[in-house]
Structure 1
Amino acid sequence: MGIFNLALLVLFGIGSFARDTPLNEFEIDNSLGDSLYKGKQWVVLVAGTSGWKKYRHQADICHAYQIVKSNGIPEENIITMIVDDIAHNIRNPRRGKIFNKPHKAFRGKDVYRGVQIDYRGSDVNSENFLNIITGNKTGMQNVGSGKVVEGGPHDTIFVNFVTHGSTGFLSFPDSFLFADELNNAFNNMYTNGNFAKMLLYIEASYGGSLFDGILNERTNIMAVTASGPRENSYACYYVGFPYYTFLGDDFSVTWMENSDSMYGDFSAADITVFEDYSVVREAIDDSNVMIYGDYHIGNEPLSSFIGYQENDSQSTKAISKKTVMSGMSSKDVDEYSVLDQLTNDKLTAIKKSELETELSKNNRMRSIINNIFRDIYSKVLTATPEIKEIVGEYDAPHNQQLTLKMFPCYRSIINTISDSCFSLTQNPYTLDRLNVFANLCVADNQIHELVNNLVNESCANIPKNIINVF
């Protein structure tokens, strides 16, 4: 070999080392192939809401469970967090069953059957989730199954999270998971060599706000979100009587129905994350499916995260529009359900009165919430009028880029509102109205001290029964 060629090889080797420095200097690079260093595949499935109106979230996650289980992911490597109050809910006409697709006309399957739930009820919270993905077994002692991701430097992790979201956070029934908390967990996992590659599928409004400008592009993590940083995700498959709820979410149903059909001419084992993303994004009109983080993950086979089981079916990879596309912004679905019930000719007078009372009360509570938020912001502007140029109007806040340093301020304001005014986790209507507070902290990450005092002042005499406002 000539000296010139030898020098090129040396330079290439140095460049490769600099570009893909292992987590541990003695660790052999996983890019050499799974044939030599086969890692485990871990799957974490989370439905972050509760209640019949959020049927679709648990249905999505149960469907995801069926996919990864049938794809050969070992049960011990699948971790599920589901409140589990849908299958046996008194409103469920098919008690003990959950469908992610209308079951009569479209032969939908019971996706709840056989699902092993590791954490249910009050165990479904942000603290436990962070303990699970970071492998904190001590923190999960005597909680649910106690299972955590016991990942190593050759393992993959797939996280599918379906819930409500708002600017900079995802919802649990009684807590929030903020972007900085999630980012800190990722950084610790990367530093500790807890994974080789990680892929997240996030179904939530404002999902992109957790990663846009925040998720590191060189830590082997990619996030695919149902919506961008400033938009809602969409529900689909609405079923009226007797369900009066949506059975799925647009992004989740699309990628999973695509996964269900990926056999035949194109081997599902070879389809990359980017290929799947492109098909799903093209099929969705209502929101912008986005990708963030380390784009190298996009070239990996999706099967390296969700598994693969050979199938003799000869269907094609491409998917078409879902048979029923009852798409609706997630912020409107609860009200739509109540209004639809009121159109039922067989509705009893008592039930009709109850629904009309619920709707009337909901509208009054919405007005109170808006008045409080406006009052707080108005007082902030009185104290610091110059900040309006950055924040914008209450009804039309500017689209500011979130930064990691603004989250302590933002979290403090969110917690103060929840403690002094009304629970934000239990009032989904509030989630579309928090961007103005995030903007305040982007403008001044010390402004929470002023804002918290104004929150306490504005909420001193409000009703105590503000709950479940949609």
Structure 2
Amino acid sequence: ANICHAYQILKSGGLKDENIIVFMRDDLAYHPANPTKGVVINNPSSQNYYPGVPKVDYIGNQATAHNFYSVLLGNAKALTGGSGKVLKSSANDYIFLFHSDHGDNDDNDNIGIKTIPIPIPEPTANLIGDAGAKPLGMPIGPTITSTDLLRVLGQMHAARSYYRMVIYLDACKSGSMFYQGLPNNIGIYAMTSANESASSKSTEDRAGRGKTLEEHYNVVEARVRSRSQVMRYGDLSFKNDLIGNYIVFLPSGGDIDKWNQDGKLDDQDVGEEECLR
């Protein structure tokens, strides 16, 4: 649901599908437990975010870590299924990466899935990685590890694939991806919904495009401070960039959503809570 919502925000702000790449399992809209078939929401008062979301990028069994890394590296030949769309960015481009899934995943989804390993060269930047980091879930197959993700980011930096890059990770223990390895001088700013060891809490900030990355962080951090630790890593030198440079929001912005504003639900519980409502 969060992925569908993010897509609608970008589209409403004017981005074209050719500039958006979607990974999702796509098993929610018509799931037997969904009482409103074809409707995907991420809070009880939200609109239906499902219509129009591309079903041709990397959906279901195609939404793997292998394809995710291949897309970031612009390596279309390494893809296994999907639309074939990869990043074709340059040193002049802004990139925004949003990941929403579970952290501290145990790879239970790996059963019956055959993956083809993608060779990831060692980065030229000093990216360390944390062998003990809690992995990030993907819709299917193996999880995303800190070591592999940082190697991919290092290769992107070496290839001059971006000017500035912003990464938002929405997952429990998501800080473990970066807290021991993301340098502060390669033009990547990362915000995670939790530190390396705690659960994350659900909240929403309907920011206007005029809000900065710093202002957005401050709002989210304040709203869940007592129950979750929102973190930032990497290059904070451009924290005063307008968020509109990376995420195109609705021009009218809007008031901060009141639902769950105290951060009472773990992200791991939100999916069931929202479906039941």
Q: Same fold (TM over 0.5)?
A: yes
In structure 2, distance between residues paired with 1:94 and 1:320: 22
Q: Does 1:221 align with 2:188?
A: yes
Q: Does 1:303 align with 2:240?
A: no
In structure 2, distance between residues paired with 1:309 and 1:101: 18
In structure 1, distance between residues paired with 2:257 and 2:85: 37
Candidates 80, 100, 103, aligned match of 1:162:
100
Name the counterpart of 1:327.
Answer: 264
3-state SS in 2 of match to 1:189: helix
Deviation track 1:344-368 (CA, whole Å, cap 9, x = no partner) reads xxxxxxxxxxxxxxxxxxxxxxxxx
3-state SS in 2 of match to 1:170: coil
In structure 1, distance between residues paired with 2:166 and 2:153: 11
Q: Does 1:84 align with 2:26?
A: yes
Which one-letter code corresponds to 2:229 in the other structure?
A: N
Which one-letter code corresponds to 1:94 in the other structure?
A: T
Deviation at 1:304, TM superposition (A): 0.7
- The structure that is helix-richer by fraction is 1
**Count of residue pairs brought into register by the alignment:** 243
Name the counterpart of 1:28.
Answer: none
Candidates 143, 148, 151, aligned match of 2:89:
151
In structure 1, distance between residues paired with 2:270 and 2:8: 26
Which one-letter code corresponds to 2:176 in the other structure?
A: S
In structure 2, distance between residues paired with 1:131 and 1:281: 32
In structure 1, distance between residues paired with 2:8 and 2:251: 15
3-state SS in 2 of match to 1:66: helix
Name the counterpart of 1:414.
Answer: none
In structure 1, distance between residues paired with 2:193 and 2:173: 8
Over 3 Å counting, the alpha-carbon distance change for 1:153 and 1:68 in structure 2 is same
In structure 2, distance between residues paired with 1:320 and 1:83: 26
In structure 2, distance between residues paired with 1:326 and 1:308: 23
Structure of higher CA gyration radius: 1
Deviation at 1:320, TM superposition (A): 6.2
3-state SS in 1 of match to 2:214: helix
3-state SS in 2 of match to 1:169: coil
Over 3 Å counting, the alpha-carbon distance change for 1:129 and 1:304 in structure 2 is same
**Sequence identity of aligned pairs in percent?**
30
3-state SS in 2 of match to 1:279: helix
Q: TM-score, normalised by structure 2?
A: 0.81
Deviation track 1:293-325 (CA, whole Å, cap 9, x = no partner) reads 0002312111111125644x7x56xx3643676
Over 3 Å counting, the alpha-carbon distance change for 1:332 and 1:91 in structure 2 is closer
Name the counterpart of 1:134.
Answer: 73
Name the counterpart of 1:189.
Answer: 156
Q: TM-score, normalised by structure 1?
A: 0.49
Which one-letter code corresponds to 2:219 in the other structure?
A: V
Which one-letter code corresponds to 1:125 in the other structure?
A: T
Name the counterpart of 2:215.
Answer: 275
Contact 1:199 1:297 (8 Å CA) reproduced: no
Deviation track 1:429-451 (CA, whole Å, cap 9, x = no partner) reads xxxxxxxxxxxxxxxxxxxxxxx
Which one-letter code corresponds to 1:207 in the other structure?
A: S
Contact 1:283 1:321 (8 Å CA) reproduced: no
Which one-letter code corresponds to 2:190 in the other structure?
A: A
3-state SS in 2 of match to 1:298: coil
Over 3 Å counting, the alpha-carbon distance change for 1:223 and 1:332 in structure 2 is same
Name the counterpart of 2:137.
Answer: 171
3-state SS in 2 of match to 1:65: helix
Name the counterpart of 1:61.
Answer: 3
3-state SS in 1 of match to 2:95: strand
In structure 1, distance between residues paired with 2:247 and 2:198: 27
Name the counterpart of 1:445.
Answer: none
Give 1:283-432 correspondences, 5 Å limit: 283-284=223-224, 285-307=226-248, 310-311=251-252, 319=256, 321-322=258-259, 327-330=264-267
Structure 1 stretches lacking a partner, 5+ long = 1-58, 235-249, 263-267, 342-470
Give 1:97-136 correspondences, 5 Å limit: 97-102=39-44, 106=45, 108-117=46-55, 118-136=57-75
Contact 1:272 1:301 (8 Å CA) reproduced: yes
In structure 1, distance between residues paired with 2:195 and 2:229: 6
Name the counterpart of 2:111.
Answer: none
Which one-letter code corresponds to 1:169 in the other structure?
A: P
Deviation track 1:243-291 (CA, whole Å, cap 9, x = no partner) reads xxxxxxx14xx13xx23xx2xxxxx2x3211111111111224211110
The farther-off stretch of 146-155 and 300-309 is 300-309
Over 3 Å counting, the alpha-carbon distance change for 1:286 and 1:152 in structure 2 is same
In structure 1, distance between residues paired with 2:217 and 2:237: 14
Which one-letter code corresponds to 1:121 in the other structure?
A: G
Deviation at 1:331, TM superposition (A): 5.4
Contact 2:227 2:263 (8 Å CA) reproduced: no
In structure 2, distance between residues paired with 1:229 and 1:127: 23
Contact 2:102 2:268 (8 Å CA) reproduced: no
